[in-house]
């Protein structure tokens, strides 16, 4: 139930946004998030965006994984 | 899909598993708290791919499963007594058997029970059915609590008067503490829930490292996230460290989502709560504050406590505490399966028994 899916904000107006989730459009509430803008990726849970995805950290995670594997 | 597919690469998964096999020397017990982790671990065969000295134990992280038998029986009795009330529930709750019925059976018998994807759907029911009362049967952890709290605030702003919430929300850190205090399952480290922690912040687990010397890694839900989270835990445990680390840092921070925390604190206050299998855990629930009493179904209606008797032979309670794995229950896969579930852990899409049953033949 704590399932959250990543999606990209493609429209935003006030506290409601349209999110592209794997090609499907979902209208979600932005009431739980400050400081998001068009093009941002967010995690959606129960019709609300609950957190922004830090795209730089997302890439760092993959880089770190590859580093650990290469160490073998 | 971006931010999903790249964390599902099989080659990298095998690479990290290889590293885990190299560094892992001693027997360790790791509990994954969250039901979404339990399902990812089962779905991708991660449990079987780990060396035998690493034991993964599933914890009490499925909100449907930890809802007590009494709280299931209570909503069923209420729905029977008040057929004029619309009950809005998340889908997973529908099939959970109470002592003599389920919400699904009550719906078939004419009860107005509606499944919602978001608590905001219940707000729509209230707007379009002004002559009816709408009650949200609100289960869920810290991830879900702010969505329900925000719905209450929205109802307040719009002066919607026919919506209320039966709050059965539960808080994760007090349950982790209760598990360790109970001295039941031996736990060396925790895979902490990614989306709960997105809300509460990783610093909420500080006491686990400081007071219990338990290693904690907050992990994401894709296979590379979960496997790398386990690698980070094993690295800690092999070095004798007990720290809080964040693997899922593209979403989780130390402080969490402060706005969501403020919304929870505005609407709710901590209360004692009964967990299936565990019993009452002090301060592990959320009750609606006096200021929002009009949205509290418990204040608005008479909803007596339900019978707490567990289904005969069901060992969900022990599964939830990590005391037994699902196949150790004599009902598992025989009298209890996903088609005809006896206990909640087999019903819910996040239940431990459902995960073991659905993916019982999978290996990496």
What are the chain A neighbours of B60 within 8 Å (beta carbons)? none
How far is A25 from chain B, CA to nearest CA, in Å?
Answer: 14
Residue B204 has pLDDT above 70, yes or no: yes
CA distances from B262 to B74, B113, B150, B268 (A): 30, 31, 10, 10
Q: Is residue B214 part of a domain?
A: no
Q: Containing domain of residue B278, as a range? A: 65-171+256-300
Q: Is residue B263 part of a domain?
A: yes
CB contact under 8 A, A29 and B224: no
CB contact under 8 A, A48 and B61: no
Q: Chain A: residue nearest B15 by CA?
A: A69
Residues B265-290 have pLDDT tens digits of 999 999 999 999 889 999 999 999 99
CB contact under 8 A, B64 and A1: yes
Residue B25 has pLDDT above 80, yes or no: yes
Taking the C-alpha atoms of residue B30 and residue A4, their distance in angstroms, rounded to an integer, is 23
Q: Is residue B226 part of a domain?
A: no
A positions 31-60 inside 8 Å of B (CB): 31-34, 41, 43, 45-48, 50-51, 53-55, 57-58, 60
CATH of A5-70, one of 3.10.105.10, 2.60.40.2550, 2.30.30.140, 3.40.50.261: 2.30.30.140
- Which pLDDT belongs to residue B364? 43
Q: Is A18 on the interface with B (CB under 8 A)?
A: no
Torsional class of B122: left (φ above 0), alpha (ψ -120 to 50), beta (otherwise): alpha
- Which pLDDT belongs to residue B272? 98
CB contact under 8 A, B118 and A22: no
CATH number of domain containing B284: 3.40.50.11740
CB contact under 8 A, B16 and A65: yes
B positions 195-214 inside 8 Å of A (CB): 195-196, 198-199
Residues B322-345 have pLDDT tens digits of 999 999 999 999 999 999 899 999
- Which pLDDT belongs to residue B50? 97
Q: Is residue B85 part of a domain?
A: yes
pLDDT bin (cut points 50, 70, 90) of residue B363 is very low
CB contact under 8 A, B15 and A8: no
pLDDT bin (cut points 50, 70, 90) of residue B99 is very high
- Which pLDDT belongs to residue B350? 87
Residues A6-25 have pLDDT tens digits of 999 999 998 999 999 989 99
Of B228, B218, B281, nearest in space to B249 by CA = B218
Count interface pairs A-B at CB distance under 8 A: 147
- Which pLDDT belongs to residue A72? 59
pLDDT (mean) for B179-191: 92
pLDDT bin (cut points 50, 70, 90) of residue B26 is very high
The residues of chain A scoring below 50 in pLDDT are none
pLDDT (mean) for B215-224: 97
User: Which ranges constitute the DSSP H helices of chain B?
Assistant: 10-23, 35-43, 46-49, 63-66, 69-81, 103-108, 119-128, 145-157, 172-182, 194-200, 206-212, 223-238, 258-267, 297-300, 316-320, 344-347, 352-358
Q: Is residue B345 part of a domain?
A: no
Residue B185 has pLDDT above 80, yes or no: yes
With residue B324 as reference, give the H or E element that holds it: none
Structural domain boundaries in chain A: 5-70
What are the chain B neighbours of A65 within 8 Å (beta carbons)? 12, 15-16, 224, 228
End-to-end CA distance of chain A: 37
Query: Which parts of chain A are beta strand (E)?
Result: 5-13, 16-21, 24-29, 41-45, 48-52
How far is A13 from chain B, CA to nearest CA, in Å?
Answer: 16
What are the chain A neighbours of B34 within 8 Å (beta carbons)? 2
- Which pLDDT belongs to residue B183? 84
Taking the C-alpha atoms of residue B194 and residue B257, their distance in angstroms, rounded to an integer, is 12
Torsional class of B215: left (φ above 0), alpha (ψ -120 to 50), beta (otherwise): beta
Residue B113: DSSP 8-state: E
pLDDT bin (cut points 50, 70, 90) of residue B39 is very high
pLDDT (mean) for B23-33: 97
CB contact under 8 A, A6 and B2: yes
CB contact under 8 A, B118 and A43: no
- Which pLDDT belongs to residue A1? 60
Q: Is residue B276 part of a domain?
A: yes
What are the chain A neighbours of B257 within 8 Å (beta carbons)? 32-33, 50-51
- Which pLDDT belongs to residue B222? 96
Domain count of chain B?
1
Best residue in B118, B193, B348 to probe A by mutation, most A CBs within 10 Å? B118
What are the chain A neighbours of B251 within 8 Å (beta carbons)? 4, 43, 51, 53-54
Q: Is residue B2 part of a domain?
A: no
Strand A41-45 to strand B28-34: parallel, antiparallel, or no bridges (unpaired)? unpaired
pLDDT bin (cut points 50, 70, 90) of residue B362 is low
- Which pLDDT belongs to residue B2? 83
- Which pLDDT belongs to residue B360? 85
How far is A54 from chain B, CA to nearest CA, in Å?
Answer: 5
CB contact under 8 A, B154 and A31: yes
**ipTM of this complex prediction, to 2 decimal places:** 0.96
The beta-carbon neighbor of A57 closest among B15, B224, B249 is B249
Q: Is residue B51 part of a domain?
A: no
Of B308, B322, B32, nearest in space to B189 by CA = B32
What percent of chain A stands above pLDDT 90?
83
């Amino acid at each position: 139930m704590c399932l959250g899916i990543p999606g990209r904000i493609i429209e935003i107006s006030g506290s409601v946004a349209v999110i592209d989730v794997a090609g499907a459009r979902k209208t979600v509430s932005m009431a739980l998030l400050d400081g998001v803008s068009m093009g941002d990726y967010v995690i959606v849970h129960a019709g609300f965006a609950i957190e922004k995805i830090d795209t730089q950290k997302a890439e760092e995670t993959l880089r770190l994984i590859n580093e650990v594997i290469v160490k073998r | 899909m971006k931010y999903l597919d790249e964390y599902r690469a099989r080659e990298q998964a095998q690479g990290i598993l290889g590293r885990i096999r190299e560094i892992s020397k001693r027997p360790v017990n790791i509990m994954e708290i969250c039901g979404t982790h339990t399902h990812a671990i089962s779905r991708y065969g991660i449990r079987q791919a780990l060396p035998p000295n690493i034991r993964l134990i599933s914890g009490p992280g499925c909100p449907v499963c930890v809802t007590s038998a009494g709280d299931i029986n209570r909503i069923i009795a209420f729905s029977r007594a008040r057929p004029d009330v619309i009950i809005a529930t998340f889908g997973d709750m529908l099939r959970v058997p109470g002592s003599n019925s389920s919400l699904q059976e009550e719906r078939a018998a004419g009860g107005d029970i509606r499944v919602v994807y978001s608590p905001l759907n219940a707000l729509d029911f209230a707007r379009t059915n002004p002559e009816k009362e709408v009650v949200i049967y609100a289960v869920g952890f810290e991830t879900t609590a702010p969505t329900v709290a925000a719905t209450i605030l929205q109802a307040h702003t719009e002066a919607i008067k026919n919506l209320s919430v039966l709050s059965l929300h539960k808080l994760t850190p007090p349950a982790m503490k209760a598990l360790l205090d109970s001295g039941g399952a031996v736990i060396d480290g925790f895979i902490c829930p990614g989306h709960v922690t997105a809300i509460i912040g990783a610093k909420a687990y500080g006491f686990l490292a400081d007071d219990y010397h338990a290693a904690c890694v907050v992990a994401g839900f894709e296979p590379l996230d979960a496997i790398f989270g386990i690698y980070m835990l094993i690295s800690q445990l092999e070095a004798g460290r007990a720290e809080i680390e964040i693997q899922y840092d593209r979403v989780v921070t130390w402080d969490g989502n402060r706005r969501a925390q403020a919304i929870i604190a505005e609407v709710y206050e901590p209360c004692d709560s009964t967990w299936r299998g565990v019993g009452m855990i002090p301060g592990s629930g959320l009750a609606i504050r006096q200021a929002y009493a009009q949205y509290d179904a418990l204040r608005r209606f008479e909803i007596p406590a339900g019978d707490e008797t567990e289904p005969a032979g069901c060992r969900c309670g022990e599964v939830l505490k990590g005391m037994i794995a699902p196949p150790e229950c004599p009902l598992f896969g025989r009298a209890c399966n996903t088609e005809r579930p006896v206990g909640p852990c087999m019903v819910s899409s996040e239940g431990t028994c459902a995960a073991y049953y659905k993916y019982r033949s999978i290996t990496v």
